[in-house]
Homo-oligomer: A and B are copies of this chain.
Amino acid sequence: MPSFLIGIDLGGTNLRCALVDENQKIIARYETDTRAEQGPDAIVERLATGVEDVLRQKVVDRNDVLVIGLAAPGPLDGRNGIVLKAPNMPGWENYPVAEKLRAKTGLRVFLENDANAAGWGEYVAGAGRGCENMVLMTLGTGVGGAIIINGQMLHGPDWTAGEIGHVVVVDGGRVCGCGGKGCLEAYASATATVRRFTEARKQGWQTSLNKEIVTCADIFDTAKGGDNLAKHIVAETGRYLGLMAANMANLLNSERCIFSGGMIKGGDLLFDAIRKACAEHAFPAPGKRLEILPAQLGSDAGLIGAAGCALVALGCKSI
């Protein structure tokens, strides 16, 4: 009986593979550059190399691997294993990655959206354990989302559900990368947080953070040091996220709202603002129910979740 899974997290910059055991623990890892410019076929070769590598590390036979779960960015057709488009990876248009990787490895491959994979990872092995209804928001260049309802990932008929980052919070507001206006992502991603900071600085707000190129981590560090502008910007990011957490509470009556991504290192400074805004906007019963938590697994969530989603696609809850 096969008793291992392989999880892959394919990003525009790095690709990572993991061998996952029946307790949803990662027991071997492989990481390398994606080299997106080489195109999809070359990347599939690199993924297959990663698969071989993690098997070799633990002397596991491929017959003992049940399935590969592959998390990838961009709009995709998970049912058919096709990446429809990957914004930062040239050549990924209607690319049948699951079939290609299966041909290379001899293993079944299931494809999942990267935010969904991260959400599922937290659900089975991280901050979402023990609940049945949760949402995840991933905070980075954009704001990704995953919605789990009654223990099931919400995919929708086009496999596009969960775009929490593209719910409009400010009618007619800031232009978003998606072309829309006023999306959560345009206010509360790490990128948007940096943009709001640099705009305010340019407008003459005083701050001790004066270097030209600023990261979101710089802003959080400066805020922790007591800088008023940085504190204001972080509080605003938290307020937008809390508003959306409240929207999710009122809409879905979720038990947990989990935030992931580098920004969560902001800790109480960020989470206090999120919780305050959520409490102001959510209805009493769902607001009381909702726990707002940082993710626990870091970038492992995508690996564990990709493997776990593949398992579910096979009709299994555990190995």
Q: How many residues of A contact B (CB 8 A)?
A: 44
A246 beta carbon closer than 8 Å to chain B: yes
Indicate if the CB atoms of B281 and A180 lie closer than 8 Å. Answer: yes
**Complexed CA–CA distance, A173 and B171 (Å):** 10
Indicate if the CB atoms of A283 and B251 lie closer than 8 Å. Answer: no
Which residues on B sit within 8 Å (CB–CB) of A133? 156-157
> Could you say which of A149, A150, A247, A250 has the most chain B C-beta atoms within 10 Å of its C-beta?
A250
Question: With A149-B149, A169-B168, A170-B170 in contact, is A160–B285 under 8 Å at CB?
Answer: yes
Indicate if the CB atoms of B283 and A168 lie closer than 8 Å. Answer: no
| Partner pick for A154 among B240, B246, B252, B280, CB 8 A cutoff | B252
How close is A166's CB to chain B, nearest CB, in angstroms? 5
A residues adjacent to B (C-beta < 8 A): 75, 132-133, 145, 147, 149-150, 152, 154-164, 166-171, 173, 178, 180, 240, 243, 246-247, 250-255, 280-281, 283, 285-286, 289
How close is A153's CB to chain B, nearest CB, in angstroms? 11
Indicate if the CB atoms of A283 and B247 lie closer than 8 Å. Answer: no
Which residues on B sit within 8 Å (CB–CB) of A160? 250, 253, 283, 285-286
Indicate if the CB atoms of B285 and A251 lie closer than 8 Å. Answer: no
Mostly, the A contact residues are loop
The residue on B at minimum CB distance from A288 is B158
How close is A264's CB to chain B, nearest CB, in angstroms? 22
Q: List 23 A-B contacts (CB under 8 A).
A: A75-B283, A75-B285, A133-B157, A147-B251, A147-B252, A154-B253, A155-B253, A157-B253, A158-B253, A159-B253, A160-B253, A160-B285, A161-B253, A161-B286, A164-B251, A166-B283, A167-B247, A169-B171, A170-B170, A171-B173, A171-B240, A171-B243, A178-B283
Which residues on B sit within 8 Å (CB–CB) of A154? 149, 252-253
How close is A129's CB to chain B, nearest CB, in angstroms? 16
The residue on B at minimum CB distance from A244 is B168
The residue on B at minimum CB distance from A246 is B168
The residue on B at minimum CB distance from A161 is B253
Indicate if the CB atoms of A285 and B166 lie closer than 8 Å. Answer: no
Indicate if the CB atoms of A163 and B251 lie closer than 8 Å. Answer: yes
How close is A202's CB to chain B, nearest CB, in angstroms? 22
**Complexed CA–CA distance, A154 and B161 (Å):** 15
Which residues on B sit within 8 Å (CB–CB) of A253? 154-161
**Complexed CA–CA distance, A248 and B133 (Å):** 18
**Complexed CA–CA distance, A252 and B160 (Å):** 8
**Complexed CA–CA distance, A156 and B184 (Å):** 24
